[in-house]
Amino acid sequence: MNEAIAKSIDLSGRVALVTGASSGLGAHFATVLAQAGATVVVGARRVDRLQTLVASIEAEGGKALAVAMDVNDKASVVAAFDQAEAAVGAVAIVVNNAGVADSARFVDSSEEQWDFVVDTNLRAVWRVSREASARMIKAGISGSIVNIASILGLQPGVSNSLYATAKAGVIQLTKSAALELWRNNVRVNALCPGYFETEINRDFFHSEKGQQYLGRIQPRRLGQMHELSMPLLLLASDAGSFLNGVALPVDGGHLVQSL
Ligand SMILES: NC(=O)c1ccc[n+]([C@@H]2O[C@H](COP(=O)([O-])OP(=O)(O)OC[C@H]3O[C@@H](n4cnc5c(N)ncnc54)[C@H](OP(=O)(O)O)[C@@H]3O)[C@@H](O)[C@H]2O)c1
């Protein structure tokens, strides 16, 4: 491979933090960032799972650290950054991946569902990004924040109004932060996955309804984890040095529909 191309995705010497790394996409993103050379701080509430992930990254020759982190708790977020900084240095790459889903018809959705879905998927992205960018600016380092939105942030879906609203908010938050943070050499972009099987949707995609749904959408299949690897690295690394404030769908063309 051409040396300049390989160097552009090389994250050696950088510290990356992934929220919600205890399962699904987050565990994959952490593994990919470590494979690209970053020291990866993996955060979530289920620390036992994070420790298993750290062991698997280390077994491959990567560097990782597990930190307990509840993104809905400011003190927990601050403590996780403090712990990361003290152990491995200032965080330069943040992947805001922690997320939850709770489907309901619009008319049936409740106050509790709004708080649960919007707090974790949107407010916490603001909280973690704000904390991270303030620290990057203080440390005088350039940074990259990658917010994991969804194609539902770009197009609504039945029974997903709260989730889609929160993810649309993540995309506008991404652009708003990008508009201000470029002066501090911090880029902020959003990755908008289509459907990938994880704990968040496994039951649905194993159901008959889920299978029928897959038969109707443009790629006629779920995405595979590795299909998110290079899009993530593009946004996180210097390969994407001229990308700022974008929302990148990775969905096999699911969003592209004929009228
Ligand atoms: N799978 C898809 O098809 C798909 C498509 C588009 C977007 N996404 C987005 O991708 C992200 C990852 O989802 P996934 O599919 O990988 O789901 P998942 O397997 O259920 O993982 C969700 C992760 O979020 C963490 N989390 C939830 N609440 C948290 C909190 N309060 N504090 C810290 N961590 C928290 C969970 O960790 P703990 O419970 O251990 O804290 C878990 O690691 C989400 O933002 C989701 O909306 C997924």
**How far apart, in whole angstroms, are the C-alpha atoms of residue 88 and residue 122?**
27
The closest of 193, 188, 210, 211 to 255, measured between CA atoms, is 193
Q: Which atom of ligand 1 is nearest to the CA of 45?
A: 41
pLDDT in tens, 111-123: 999 999 999 999 9
The structural domains of the chain, with segments of one domain joined by +, span: 3-249
In the reported structure, the alpha carbon of residue 223 is separated from the centroid of ligand 1 by a whole-number distance in angstroms of 16
In the reported structure, the alpha carbon of residue 98 is separated from the centroid of ligand 1 by a whole-number distance in angstroms of 4
**How far apart, in whole angstroms, are the C-alpha atoms of residue 32 and residue 146?**
14
**How far apart, in whole angstroms, are the C-alpha atoms of residue 108 and residue 167?**
20
Long-range contact set of residues 81-84: C-beta below 8 Å, sequence gap at least 24: 81/17, 81/131, 81/132, 81/135, 84/15, 84/17, 84/41
Cβ burial, residue 105 (10 Å; 0-12/13-18/19+): exposed
**How far apart, in whole angstroms, are the C-alpha atoms of residue 73 and residue 145?**
20
Q: CATH number of 3-249: 3.30.70.100, 3.30.420.40, 3.40.50.2300, 3.40.50.720?
A: 3.40.50.720
In the reported structure, the alpha carbon of residue 4 is separated from the centroid of ligand 1 by a whole-number distance in angstroms of 34
Q: Atom 46 of ligand 1 has which residue's CA nearest to it?
A: 99
From 198, 199, 213, mutation site for ligand 1 pocket: most ligand atoms within 8 A of C-beta: 198
pLDDT at res. 257: 85
| Mean pLDDT for the chain overall | 98
Active site residues: 163
Cβ neighbors of 56 (< 8 A, separation 6 or more) are 31
pLDDT in tens, 33-55: 999 999 999 999 999 999 999 99
**Percent of the chain predicted with pLDDT > 70:** 100
pLDDT at res. 35: 98
Phi-psi region at 142: left, alpha or beta (left = phi > 0; alpha = psi -120 to 50): beta
From 19, 25, 150, 205, mutation site for ligand 1 pocket: most ligand atoms within 8 A of C-beta: 25
230: pLDDT confidence band, cut at 50, 70 and 90? Answer: very high
Pairing of strands 39-44, 143-148: unpaired
Q: Which residues line ligand 1 (CB under 6 A)?
A: 19-20, 22-26, 44-46, 69-72, 97-100, 120, 148, 150, 193, 195-196, 198-201
pLDDT in tens, 54-113: 999 999 999 999 999 999 999 999 999 999 999 999 999 999 999 999 999 999 999 999
pLDDT at res. 248: 98
Q: Which atom of ligand 1 is nearest to the CA of 223?
A: 3
Q: Is 239 helix (H, G, I), strand (E, B) or coil?
A: helix
* Across 171-189, average pLDDT: 99
**How far apart, in whole angstroms, are the C-alpha atoms of residue 142 and residue 97?**
20
Q: Which atom of ligand 1 is nearest to the CA of 47?
A: 40
